């Protein structure tokens, strides 16, 4: 299982790579959406985890370009961000996005999301990771489309 992890912060890329490789995943790194597009052409990717705000090409634009290729229409895609303000939540409230995770959440939650998104839809649970732990209402979580925690 190969994960493309896209983030402009080198230290965060390193930490997440260590967490995911420790769980047995192969991790390919990119520092922005433009570099990530090249990696998608070079590697067999099973899941994309991408920051939202990055220089050169941000995560939203990267996602839009990726979905423009028929071969990547169903590629699972998880957004992450250190920002959880209203603007960020509105940016990722599109039902085409599979999920959103705040960077400050424990690494175990990222691993849960990876397992959730790489499990075939017909087999995985109906609730996204973290939904059972959360006492917030859907509106407080920013839920309008895809699964958010």
Q: Of 66, 34, 61, 23, give the one whose Cα is nearest residue 48.
A: 66
Give the confidence band of 7 by pLDDT, cuts at 50, 70, 90.
Answer: very high
- Whether the per-residue pLDDT at 10 is higher than 50: the answer is yes
Domain extents for the chain? 2-141
Q: What is the pLDDT of residue 147?
A: 40
Q: What is the pLDDT of residue 127?
A: 67
pLDDT digits (tens, 9 = 90+) for 33-92: 999 999 999 999 999 998 888 889 888 888 889 988 998 988 888 888 775 555 555 555
Answer yes or no: are the C-beta atoms of 66 and 75 closer than 8 Å: yes
Q: What is the pLDDT of residue 113?
A: 86
Long-range pairs of 38-42 with CB within 8 A, sequence gap ≥ 24:
39/4, 40/4, 40/66, 40/72
Q: What is the pLDDT of residue 142?
A: 44
Q: What is the pLDDT of residue 94?
A: 53
Give the confidence band of 132 by pLDDT, cuts at 50, 70, 90.
Answer: very low
CATH domain 2-141 topology: Rossmann fold (3.40.50)
DSSP-derived letter for residue 72 is: G
Rounded mean pLDDT of the chain?
A: 78
- Whether the per-residue pLDDT at 115 is higher than 50: the answer is yes
- What value does the CA radius of gyration of the chain take, rounded to a whole number of Å? 14
Query: Token pair for residue 8?
Result: 């402009």
Number of neighbours of residue 26 by Cβ within 10 angstroms: 15
């Amino acid at each position: 299982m190969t994960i493309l992890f896209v983030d402009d912060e080198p230290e965060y890329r390193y930490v997440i790579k260590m967490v995911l490789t420790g769980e047995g995943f192969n991790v390919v790194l990119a520092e922005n959406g433009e570099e990530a597009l090249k990696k998608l052409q070079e590697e067999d990717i099973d899941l994309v985890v991408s920051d939202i705000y990055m220089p050169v090409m941000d995560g939203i634009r990267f996602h839009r370009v990726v979905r423009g290729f028929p071969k990547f229409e169903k590629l699972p895609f998880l957004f992450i961000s250190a920002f959880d303000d209203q603007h960020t939540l509105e940016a990722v409230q599109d039902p085409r996005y599979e999920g959103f995770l705040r960077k400050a959440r424990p690494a175990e939650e990222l691993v849960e999301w990876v397992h959730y998104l790489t499990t075939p839809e017909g087999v995985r649970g109906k609730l996204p990771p973290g939904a059972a732990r959360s006492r917030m209402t859907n509106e407080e979580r920013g839920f309008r489309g895809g699964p958010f925690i």
